[in-house]
Structure formats: C-alpha cells, structure tokens
Structure 1
C-alpha cells in the first residue's frame, strides 16, 4: 500500500501552545526594556550600554521591526509604582502595539515575584499573545514549559533585593551607632553643608528659625507665627508659604539646639519602600551637642515645655484630650416622678418622668432676730426685720415646652400640669421630716436645705 504524502501547513499566528517563537517568527514588532536601580556613575554606564546594545540588536535582526526602547533610570524594580516607562510599555503591549519584549534578565524586568508573574500572564492572555524574552536566563514566556523556571528565578531575584535591603539597613544602623547621621541638609532650614561635610549655619535662614522660637516662647501661637512670617515675605526651605504645621515642625526639631536624633523613621517592607514613624519597632539614637545650635538650650527647653503643656490642634501627633464636663446638677437629679397617672394611654401607670427645678423667691416680714437684738441691747418686742428668701421646687417634666415668641438663647421651659391629677400629694416625692412650704413663707430661716419640700408640678 502506497503511503500518502502529508503536507505541513505552518502556523501563522503566535500561540503559547506552539512554544517559544521569538527566533522563528518574522515581521514581528520587538521592543526592549532597560533599567538601573540607582543613578551612580557605574550604573549610568550600564544604563547607556543596555540601550545601545538592544537598539543595534533589534534593528539588525532579520524579521524584527524596531518598536522602541523603554528605559527606567534610578528606579527600583520591587514595585511598579514609579516606573513610568515600564507602565507605558505594558500599556502599549496591551493596546496591540508590541509583539515581543526583550530584556537583559528577570531582575531588570522586575524584582517582585507577583509583579513579574502578573505582567507575564497578562501579556500572554492577549490575542495574539505578547511574549517576553529574558536573554540571560534564555526564557521565552510564550513557551508554557518555562513558567516554572520563571517563577523560581523571579523569587530568587526578589530575595536578592531583600538581601540588598538588609545589608543597606545594617550599614546605616552601624553609622547611627557611631553617631554619623544620614540627613540631607538641602532640605533643612538654617544649615548648609560645609566643604568637609560639617554643618554650617546659614545666617539668613537662621533668622527665621530664631524668630519662630522667640515668638513662640513669648506666647504667640503657631498660626499667628505662620501669618507673621508670610507677611514678612519669608519662605520655607521648599520656597512655600508657612503654615501652623510647618512652624510646629521647626519647634519640635532638636537639630536647632545642636542635638540630633537618628532613626526616627523605618522601612518595614522592602518591596514598597514606604517609611513609617518608628514607634518602638527599632532603636533610636540620640546625640547631644552634635553640631552648633541655632538657638540656646534654655529657649529650646522652654519651647518644649510649652508644647507639652499646651498642645496645638494642628500638626500634633498626639491630640489633646477633650475636656470633660463636670457634674454641676442637683444630687436629686436622678429621681423620677412616682405619681400614678389618671388620664391618657398610660393611665394607672407611674409617671416615670424626671424633674425640672424651679426657684421661687419671696420676702419675709415681721421676723425678729433674737440673737442680734440681745447682742445689741435692742427691744425684741418692737424691732422687726424684713428678709428676702428663695426656695427650690422640682416639677415634673411631663409636658415641658417653650413659650411662644421667646428667643432661643433665652428660652425657658414651660411647665404644664402633670396628668397625675389635682391632688398635690399624688405627685409629691416622699421625704422624711418634711417641713411645709408655709414654714418658708413665714420666714422660718432655720430650716436646713435638705429638709425643704420637693414637689411635682401639681404642688
């Protein structure tokens, strides 16, 4: 039997199932991605070399069309946040402008395992898929068998970045322990960096610093000081107007008295590189008299005492505690009316409302002070005195309202009759040793306060 001839029709579209196709495809649009993590001179040479190499490689390769060079200089590969060219390259690839991306190695593409795998998979899901070729590792992402190796090597690249971050942190802490701070004096008001790295006072900026401290210890607020500085035309170190928070930042900065505190902030995650305030997670290092201070020690101590005793609402890391309202009410304020209601839906039940205090005043006439007259030798039978007096009555709050036409700030509660009935005894708070109200009306001034009759509104 004659064997039939089978003619192979080659694939015309890129597909992940067909394996790596960078070297077999023709007329494809290829771009290159380059990155260096710092702006050092040695890395600058590497940055320039990468761009020149891949430009020549793509333009001279048969079947390849040059689609551009995407390069990020002095950008960390642990995050995509600040890598503008990388994000622009991804956007162009997703828009169908690229067929392949060539880069030197996985660590140049990204040092974050999640970012690497997400970007690669996102590009592979395009129609047609977009491939990434890592030259050093010889990995083509359109080859399905290469994902395992890519995952392992990407994790190693991320761990290498963690190791570098740990080494840098260790060296910085050693410098802190030796009293060597890491600070950019170009971002600090009042100081310049000398020829040998020493701290040199900037006379013009130092006037502003002294003005802030002198005005504050004289009792001026941070808001007022900021307003005065803006009126004088003085600017912050960033050439911006002053605010209360920027004034408080200067007042709290120990460097202006000659001291320095190191490791105020720490970086918890090497992938995000975000600094947070050191709240005890790492040691701090404090050096007194590290450099020449702009203000004297006594002014500094006084300013710190005032900041501690009188915290401002603006810029404080610890807000002042709210003032608590003192209890100034009557000790009987928690009592409620116990009268049994006679009308309405709640008839037969206790009233249960609180009490409202009303103060009555009156004048007692025909009162004789026997002790005063005996002491002065006066005649107790003919000498009479007149006294003014006041007594409180607590009424039920059953139907309080406001009087019509009365201003809100002078509003008085309108007391209506309680539904307990007309019997004054039905809505009266029982108390022991109750003197009758007429005792007050007869000017019986010897009645103690705790024996005054307290009645509901029906009294």
Structure 2
C-alpha cells in the first residue's frame, strides 16, 4: 500500500535491531520482546497501519550497514512508509552523526514521522528537537565505550594466541570444542602440503595454480562455500573462482602453516574504514596450533621466494600505463611481459592478467606490444591537439570570448573536482595492483608519488578557477587549465608517466589491437567543440 500525502493515516515501519557486540544482553532487548512491545504500541493507535517489520539481528549500531535498514529506507523512498517506530533510540543507531543525519535532516525532508517508544520521543511533538541530540550523544558515548572494550578483549585474545576471525586459513578449521582454536582440515591440508612441495621442487606459482585448476581442485574460496561458509573474497573479481598466482603466493608466505598465529594486521576505529597496520606491530604468537608444514620445508620455500625476487631497473622497465590499461572482456588489469631481442635490447608486451595467471580457459591473451600501444595513444593525442589548434584559429578569427561559452569553465571546475577524487581513488587502488604483483614495489612507490603530485596540481587549478569566478574575470576560452595544457603539448613526441596520469582516464584493450581510450577532458572537449561550431553556424546563417 502506498500512502497518500496529506492523509491522516501513517503507514508504519517497525524497526528492530539486536547486537550482542553492542552489549545487548538484556532479555528485554530480545527480538521477540521488541516486536511484542512495538506491535502493541502500533495497534493502540487508530491512525497507524502496520506496513512491515524490519529486523537486523546481529548487526552493530555504530554504523548503518544493515540489510533490513536499507530495505526500510528503500520502502520510505518508494512512499510505502511514512512513520518509523523503534523501542529506543539506540535500536536505530548509536552513532551521533549518522543517526542525527537521518532523524534531523533526511526523515523531515521525506515527511517521515519518527517515534522512539521508551524514550518518549515523537518527531511530531514540540520537545523532539531539544531531546534528540542529547539522547544521541549518550548513545554514541555508550557505543564508543563498548567498541573500546570489544577491541581490548580481541587484542587480549590475540596476544594469548587465540584465533579471532570469521574464516580460517585454507587447511585449517575451527575446533568444535573451542572456536578460538585451530585444528587441521585433513583434505585441505594435503593440498597445502602439495603446494609447498611443488614449489620446493622448482615449479612456479603460476604453474602450480594451473595444475590445481586442471585437476579440478576447488580454490580456497569455493572450498569454504562448499562447506557451508558464507565466504566472499573482496580482493578478487566475483567470477574469479579458481586458483591464481596470488593465492599460491599468499599461501607460501603464511606462517600459520608452521603453527604460528599472526593477527592484528588491520585496525578499524568506530565509523572508519579498516586500515593496514605496520608489519612490526602485528601480533605474532608461535606454536599455537599443529603445523601443516615442517620447518625444513618452510625454510627452503622462503629461501626460494627470496632468491627469485629480482630488482627492476625503473629507468628502462617502468610501465607508464600501470593502473590505466585493462582487458575489455574480463575487466582485469593487463600485465607486462619482457623479452630480450637478439641485439640484447629489451622489449615488452601487455597480456590480459586473467590469461597470464590462469590460462586460456578463463580469457584470451589480448596481446598488445608496448610500442603499438604507445604509438596509438601518442597518435590519438596528437590528433586531438591538432583539432584544438584548429579550433583556436576559428575562435580568434571570430573574436570569440569566454563569456560566450562560460559554461565550459563551470564544467571544467566540476570535472577538476571529479578528477581530484579519481586521483585519490587511483592512489588507493594502485596498492591492489602491487598486491597482485602487476607492478613492483618500486613502481608502486613511484606511481603513488605521481598521484600525490597530481592531487596538488588539481587542487591548485581548482583554487585558481574558483578565485577567477569570484573576481568575475573574463578570460580567453583557451586559458582553462586543460586546454592550456593540451596546447603546451603541441610538439609532443614521447609519452611519459606524468602525461598518462594527467590526460588518460582509462584504456580498454580488445583483441586484434583494438583500443578504447577515455580521456580526462573528453566531455569538456566535446562541449567546447559543440559550443564553438554552433556559434560559427549561427554567424554564417545571419
């Protein structure tokens, strides 16, 4: 039923939340008791019609990442619900800022009535605005205290060598008698032993992955699902349900297989994302469980891993396209592969990362020599610059000024802000490429520095444009930063990393050297051409 605006009736959503982690141990807080209390409350009001009951059992109140909460909000946005009823304010949320955002801004804008029964809070009553912030502050302080206590308990258990986590490493399972104790999974542990043995015999990580895939052995994520675990690897593509180079590499470096427990690699504060912890601050406890790999085999494998690591000459091998080039079919980043010519010089081509790591059964090569890619991108960029130069001549011949296409400046400002956000995201995502060994550590550090420089550049450009807007300065249309930069590159003969980061949004590679190049300035350039040529046609028509 969709309620009619202006009606005196309220379509009510009962919202129930319970989380032991938040300290909800009272019997009165149980789902059943909340439902009974709230249903009775709704039934006592003749102007209330119960639309649905939304229950998030086992979800913390310190954030709003809860499935039934999102379902309730969707129903509100679809005009199916215009009143939300909870037992108390802490059931809705314990975070002061986010709770306040919903109750003081979003709900009023959507004309949604909010009622907290035991707090005697009703958004239709006069005292609502004064009482709500006070309750919110107390709830957040309570949540913060609980969060600190939970973190202290977790760290204490980790230091004692107890396993703290939802999912165990492949080869182990939780003890039925003690969920903080690891015991060996007989089937998976044999696969682990085989992986270590093959690597010690000289078989490479990628080859090991291909062997396991060919034999139909389930990869760790699929094995967990087969055993009824609701597991999802967020670091991989959804359809990547097979053994990969990275899976083997992580396994070979995991101390858990020699009986050591290493935890505390990530940290999360309330309302914030997880952050990586420096390696020296990890919590490492030896001999906490039965090992799968003996020390002799472990040491041999670690020695081989160190020996096979090779330094890269950044001056000759730096991949200027890293982070920008992806396969057009599977969406994975393209990898570079070197070879040495007869004259001793080095060259390299790009291959689909899925094909390179997992073989032809999962994707095709999409082979693209570096020189071909470089020539195509350089040629395309030079053509764009020539078009801009021709446009500039047309503008000059007609005394074109910025006032005639001021929208281009506004769009450029919007685009620069979006580009600044994109560079920030790229700076974060390049770490994923480093983890997947698509780039070396040296390249990772180099590219991260590139992105930091771009952040500074775009911030200054945004500041300049905004200052000019305030001063109402009429500038020549070609004084916008991206057009000026394009014209500065009119004699370009060689691409470098700075130019790629500044100009390219993404390069998508298809078979037979077919490319789709997306530029950072694409929409603005199209808008500018359209504005200028439309003006030109109007003049000719007159």
TM-score of the superposed pair, with normalisation by structure 2? 0.49
- Asked whether the 8 Å contact 1:93–1:123 carries over to 2, the reply is no
1:187 aligns with 2:187: no
Write the deviation string for residues 110-162 of structure 1: whole angstroms up to 9, x where unpaired: 11222222212222123xx2210111221222335422321121122112111
Aligned 1:284-433 pairs, distance under 5 A = 284-311=282-309, 315-316=436-437, 319-321=440-442
Which sits farther off after the overlay, 207-216 or 147-156?
147-156
Write the deviation string for residues 325-358 of structure 1: whole angstroms up to 9, x where unpaired: xxxxxxxxxxxxxxxxxxxxxxxxxxxxxxxxxx
The CA deviation at 1:43 is: 7.1
The CA deviation at 1:48 is: 1.9
1:66 aligns with 2:57: no
- Asked whether the 8 Å contact 2:159–2:285 carries over to 1, the reply is no
Question: Which residue is 2:271 aligned to?
Answer: 271
Provide structure 2 residue ranges, at least 5 long, that are not aligned to the other structure. Answer: 223-240, 311-433, 444-542
Give the aligned CA root-mean-square deviation in angstroms. Answer: 2.9
Aligned 1:217-296 pairs, distance under 5 A = 217-239=200-222, 240-267=241-268, 269-272=269-272, 274-279=273-278, 283-296=281-294
Secondary structure of the corresponding residue to residue 81 of structure 2? coil
Secondary structure of the corresponding residue to residue 130 of structure 2? helix
Write the deviation string for residues 190-239 of structure 1: whole angstroms up to 9, x where unpaired: 22334543543223212210111111122222111100111121112322
Counterpart Cα distance in 1 of 2:14 and 2:176: 42
- Asked whether the 8 Å contact 2:12–2:50 carries over to 1, the reply is yes
The CA deviation at 1:35 is: 0.8
1:113 aligned to which of 96, 116, 119: 96
Secondary structure of the corresponding residue to residue 192 of structure 1? strand
1:170 aligns with 2:168: no
- Asked whether the 8 Å contact 2:252–2:301 carries over to 1, the reply is yes
- Structure 1 stretches of at least 4 aligned residues deviating more than 6 Å after TM superposition: 39-45
1:51 aligned to which of 13, 35, 41: 35
2:9 aligned to which of 6, 20, 27: 27
Secondary structure of the corresponding residue to residue 293 of structure 2? coil
Counterpart Cα distance in 2 of 1:199 and 1:66: 47
The CA deviation at 1:179 is: 2.8
Question: Which residue is 1:100 aligned to?
Answer: 83
- Asked whether the 8 Å contact 2:159–2:284 carries over to 1, the reply is no
Distance 1:89 1:204, change over 3 A: closer
Counterpart Cα distance in 1 of 2:213 and 2:38: 53
Counterpart Cα distance in 2 of 1:187 and 1:288: 17
Secondary structure of the corresponding residue to residue 295 of structure 1? coil
Write the deviation string for residues 61-104 of structure 1: whole angstroms up to 9, x where unpaired: 333222222221211222223x2222222232333333322111
2:106 aligned to which of 122, 125, 128: 122
Distance 1:290 1:29, change over 3 A: closer
Write the deviation string for residues 352-408 of structure 1: whole angstroms up to 9, x where unpaired: xxxxxxxxxxxxxxxxxxxxxxxxxxxxxxxxxxxxxxxxxxxxxxxxxxxxxxxxx
Distance 1:215 1:110, change over 3 A: same
Secondary structure of the corresponding residue to residue 281 of structure 2? coil
Provide structure 1 residue ranges, at least 5 long, that are not aligned to the other structure. Answer: 1-12, 15-24, 323-459
Question: Which residue is 2:522 aligned to?
Answer: none
Counterpart Cα distance in 2 of 1:215 and 1:44: 57
1:147 aligns with 2:143: no
Higher helix share: 2
- Asked whether the 8 Å contact 1:189–1:236 carries over to 2, the reply is no
Aligned residues between the structures: 293
Which sits farther off after the overlay, 238-247 or 61-70?
61-70
Counterpart Cα distance in 1 of 2:255 and 2:127: 59
- Asked whether the 8 Å contact 1:79–1:271 carries over to 2, the reply is yes
Question: Which residue is 1:137 aligned to?
Answer: 119
Counterpart Cα distance in 2 of 1:91 and 1:183: 32
Counterpart Cα distance in 2 of 1:144 and 1:86: 27
- Asked whether the 8 Å contact 1:311–1:320 carries over to 2, the reply is no
- Asked whether the 8 Å contact 1:235–1:241 carries over to 2, the reply is yes
